[in-house]
Amino acid sequence: MRDDLINIYKDAPAIFDTIKEEIGRVVVGQKSVVEQILVGILAGGHILLESNPGLGKTLLVKTIAGTTGLDFSRIQCTPDLMPADITGTTLIEEVEGSKVFRFEEGPIFANIVLADEINRASPRTQSAMLEAMQEKQVTVGKNTYRLEEPFFVLATQNPIEMEGTFPLPEAQLDRFLLKVFIDYPNQDEEYQIMERYTGHAEPRVERVITRRELLSLQQLTRDIPISDDLKGAAITAVISTRKWEGVEYGASPRASIGLILASKARALLNGRDYVSRDDLDVMAYPILRHRIILSFDSERRGITADQVISDIMKSI
């Protein structure tokens, strides 16, 4: 096992380069977004992707899932989606003349679950994912079913100002390790997208990493050394969100854990064997932005969570 880890650690930079290259065959640009999603996967956290429609959120998640040898399922969230549609349901089945109950697993039983347009699902259905996301298990009736490792929920959502959406409850937002914004591509990137998707054959990705390799990389992520100073800085940043002027509610201790883990994952992804201050500064945004609830006055003045995070990180 240790030899495996040593080999995978040695090969890690090559593995990451190959994954990025493979994703780049389908997704144009969005390097920062790809990096953040890979960070989330290495840290074993769930990711919320937010952007306007048509920016390739679903394509991106499908592509990343395609590069791994992991089970992938997709849930298209709609207002009439029921919790059982996600978790699964118990069926009565006739076996050799007698009737038996059989649990039919829902789409949540996969390694990578794409919850598309999660904020279109009703709050009841959204909360059905809570247990799965946090406990990595599903309880149906009197039975509890473990979800196979690794397990990630990559949810996409449209900005909540759009019609027909249900804002995610704070408790559920906190369960997402990262919230990643996807911005519009620039002119060159948009030209490449047009070229790539108006031909006869659409690009496809190949599997470049196995489940076992991914689990080893997740283990290595947790082993990345971080100095006590940076641990202190991460905690200070999270605590500051609770006292910062213009913030109604700050981040929970789960954010401190997330910030350290995400920083470690970024360090590994960038081929470093230690966490740097830069990792902390970069990862503070996707880790904290959905955990900060601004006061009415701040929102009225047009202050964003990212501006608050920027101020906090500068003050540390």
Partner 1 sequence: MDGSYEFLADLRRLLGVYRRFELSLYLLNAGIIASLIYIVALFLGIPAFFRFYWQGSAVAAVPALISMILGLFGAKVLGRRSKSDLFAHLEEGLSEKTKAAYDNRDSRSVVMQSLAQDVKKRLSMVGSRDIMNRRRLTFGERSVPTFQAKAAAVILLLAFAAAFSQSQAGEEISPQPFKSLSDLRDRAADLFGEEEVAEAGASDTGISGEIYGKPSLAVLEEVNLELVLYPGSAAGFRSKEIEPMDRLFTTSEAGEGVAVPTEQYIESLPPQNREIIKRYFENLATS
Q: Prior bond to 185 cis, omega within 30?
A: no
How far is residue 21 CA from its own chain's centroid?
Answer: 20
Max CA distance (Å), the chain: 71
Pairing outcome for strands 137-140 and 143-146? antiparallel
User: How many CB atoms within 10 Å of residue 239?
Assistant: 16
Give the C-alpha distances (Å, rounded to integers) separating 242 from 38, 167, 260.
Answer: 28, 22, 18
For residue 9, the minimal CB distance to partner 1 (Å) is 5
The 3-state DSSP class for residue 231 equals helix
- Residue 123 or 225: the one with the smaller Cβ distance to partner 1 is 225
- Residue 137 or 227: the one with the smaller Cβ distance to partner 1 is 227
- Residue 38 or 305: the one with the smaller Cβ distance to partner 1 is 38
Full DSSP string of 22-64: HHHHHS-S-HHHHHHHHHHHHHT-EEEEE--TTSSHHHHHHHH
And the tokens for 228? 């006590």
Distance of alpha carbon 213 from alpha carbon 153, whole angstroms: 19
For residue 272, the minimal CB distance to partner 1 (Å) is 8
User: Which positions lie near partner 1, rule CB under 8 A?
Assistant: 2, 5-6, 9, 220, 223-230, 268, 273-277
Distance of alpha carbon 248 from alpha carbon 56, whole angstroms: 33
- Residue 255 burial by Cβ neighbours in a 10 Å radius (0-12, 13-18, 19+): buried
For residue 226, the minimal CB distance to partner 1 (Å) is 6
For residue 212, the minimal CB distance to partner 1 (Å) is 16
For residue 15, the minimal CB distance to partner 1 (Å) is 15
- Residue 245 or 273: the one with the smaller Cβ distance to partner 1 is 273
Interior CA angle at 251 toward 118 and 183, to 5°?
45
Residue 91 identity: L
- Residue 32 or 219: the one with the smaller Cβ distance to partner 1 is 219
For residue 83, the minimal CB distance to partner 1 (Å) is 40
- Residue 209 or 224: the one with the smaller Cβ distance to partner 1 is 224
- Residue 4 or 190: the one with the smaller Cβ distance to partner 1 is 4
And the tokens for 50? 């937010």
For residue 7, the minimal CB distance to partner 1 (Å) is 10
For residue 314, the minimal CB distance to partner 1 (Å) is 18
- Residue 1 or 201: the one with the smaller Cβ distance to partner 1 is 1
Beta strands in 226-312 (DSSP E): 247-249, 293-294
